């Protein structure tokens, strides 16, 4: 297998983007990524387009996107894995280069979610669970699924609504410093606790929003890194992936996501690192409880110690491990098909030390981790990046 580097990244402003079509939106990230890498469409062998199809009517989104961004006659491959689509696009691109099938690949994720109402976007277009056994019979929405995990974690480990609120406070703080975030305002613990209940104990301010957005990464072989004279390649050191049953009725333990534990184990092994080596991470905080459980499942702390980690402020930049210091899904936003590549965008900037002030994580080992999950945790992708 050949080594693969991220040589360029781009991301649009996330939020309500009724000012652009899906194709125009995708171009915002692709243009930035191409310029960042110093290459053009002519240098790219193939595009991998990630899109969930949350609008419910765009059945073949990759073709018009690929054509609009100037890739014709090359590409595309379309991938879909619900909220984990972004890192799946990255993985497909990685494999094309690692196996010798391509030298330069564009991975782009794009999603327009706000054109339709929330139930259509998530329950019809972007359904990530099992239609018959979850949505149809039990009416389990995403917030309701994560609420099951929150109450189990509370019962077993004494986790409180305040602990969850602290995640929202941190991620909104970083969102307020990120000009590309969906929400660029801070929130207080009191505001989170008083916000409207969605599925107790999950409230409005514990939830990621419905966002439009796009993110892209240009991947390259070692030969291409040399050819295009890339001075700060960010190497993909290891990718892990795993699956669990989507059927919540068949899950045994509601305080942990098995798929994330297995995916992390695989990624750490391939990268030859330990969880403690990770200095900056973007984890899948679709709901605040998910970030707390991710601290534990990714091995940043022992099981049950996630609440303590956030309570001690150890996941701010300068703490034990900087987590979601771009605002995370909670504040930066969660345009499903783009989200994982939006993490790669942020972590590449972090590893290249292109952020400033409180937005830059202090680095010694230059190791970052992205964690992207589908549905109520049945699929998990973990990517380790290294400069």
Ligand X SMILES: CC(=O)SCCNC(=O)CCNC(=O)[C@H](O)C(C)(C)COP(=O)(O)OP(=O)(O)OC[C@H]1O[C@@H](n2cnc3c(N)ncnc32)[C@H](O)[C@@H]1OP(=O)(O)O
Q: Which of 76, 327, 340, 375 binds ligand X (CB under 6 A)?
A: 375
Measured from the CB atom, is 92 or 113 closer to ligand X? 113
- Shortest separation between residue 236's beta carbon and ligand X, angstroms: 22
Q: Is 341 in the site for ligand X (CB under 6 A)?
A: no
Q: Is 286 in the site for ligand X (CB under 6 A)?
A: yes
Annotation says 334 is catalytic: yes
Q: Is 54 in the site for ligand X (CB under 6 A)?
A: no
Lookup result for tokens 């054509």: 67
In the window 100-139, what residues touch ligand X (CB under 6 A)?
118, 122
CA separation for the pair 156, 163 (Å, rounded): 14
Q: Is 79 in the site for ligand X (CB under 6 A)?
A: no
Of the residues 83, 153, 182, 371, which is catalytic? 83
Q: Is 374 in the site for ligand X (CB under 6 A)?
A: yes
Q: Is 198 in the site for ligand X (CB under 6 A)?
A: yes
In the window 133-152, what residues touch ligand X (CB under 6 A)?
142
- Shortest separation between residue 47's beta carbon and ligand X, angstroms: 24
* Half-sphere exposure of residue 24: CA atoms within 13 angstroms, side-chain side: 5
> How many residues appear in the chain?
387
Q: Is 379 in the site for ligand X (CB under 6 A)?
A: no
Measured from the CB atom, is 334 or 355 closer to ligand X? 334
- Shortest separation between residue 180's beta carbon and ligand X, angstroms: 17
Annotation says 284 is catalytic: no
Q: Which of 334, 349, 355, 371 binds ligand X (CB under 6 A)?
A: 334
Residues forming the active site = 83, 334
Q: Where along the sequence are the contacts to ligand X (CB under 6 A)?
A: 83, 118, 122, 142, 183, 198, 204-205, 207-210, 286, 334, 373-375
């Amino acid at each position: 297998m050949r080594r693969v580097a991220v040589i360029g990244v781009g991301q649009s402003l996330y939020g309500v983007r009724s000012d652009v079509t899906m194709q125009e939106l995708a171009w915002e990230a692709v243009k930035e990524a191409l310029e960042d890498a110093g290459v053009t469409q002519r240098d790219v062998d193939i595009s991998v387009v990630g899109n969930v199809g949350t609008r419910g009517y765009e059945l073949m989104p990759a073709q018009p996107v690929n054509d609009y961004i100037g890739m014709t006659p090359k590409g595309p491959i379309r991938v879909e894995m619900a909220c984990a689509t972004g890192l799946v696009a990255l993985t497909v691109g990685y494999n094309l280069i690692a196996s010798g099938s391509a030298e330069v690949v564009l991975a782009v994720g794009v999603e327009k979610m706000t054109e339709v109402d929330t139930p259509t976007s998530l329950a019809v277009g972007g359904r990530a669970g099992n239609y018959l056994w979850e949505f149809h019979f039990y009416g389990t929405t995403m917030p309701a699924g994560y609420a099951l995990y929150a109450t189990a974690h509370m019962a077993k480990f004494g986790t409180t609504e305040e602990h969850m609120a602290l995640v929202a406070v941190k991620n909104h703080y970083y969102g307020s410093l990120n000009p590309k975030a969906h929400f660029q305002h801070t929130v207080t613990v009191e505001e989170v606790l008083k916000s409207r209940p969605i599925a107790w104990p999950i409230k409005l301010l514990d939830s990621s929003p419905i966002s439009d957005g796009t993110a892209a990464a240009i991947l390259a072989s070692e030969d291409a890194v040399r050819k295009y004279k890339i001075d700060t390649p960010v190497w993909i050191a290891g990718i892990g992936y795993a699956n669990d049953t989507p059927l919540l009725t068949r899950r045994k333990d509601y305080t942990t996501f098995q798929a994330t534990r297995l995916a992390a184990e695989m990624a750490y092994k391939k990268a030859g690192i330990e969880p403690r080596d990770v200095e900056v991470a973007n984890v899948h905080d679709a709901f605040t409880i998910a970030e707390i459980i991710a601290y534990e499942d990714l091995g940043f702390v022992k099981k049950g110690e996630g609440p303590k980690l956030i309570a001690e402020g150890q996941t701010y930049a300068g703490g034990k491990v900087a987590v979601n210091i771009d605002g995370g899904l909670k504040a930066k936003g969660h345009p499903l098909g783009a989200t994982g590549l939006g993490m790669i965008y942020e972590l590449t900037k972090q590893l290249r030390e292109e952020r400033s002030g409180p937005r830059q994580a202090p680095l010694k080992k230059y190791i970052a981790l992205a964690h992207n999950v589908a549905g109520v945790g049945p699929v998990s992708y973990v990517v380790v990046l290294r400069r």
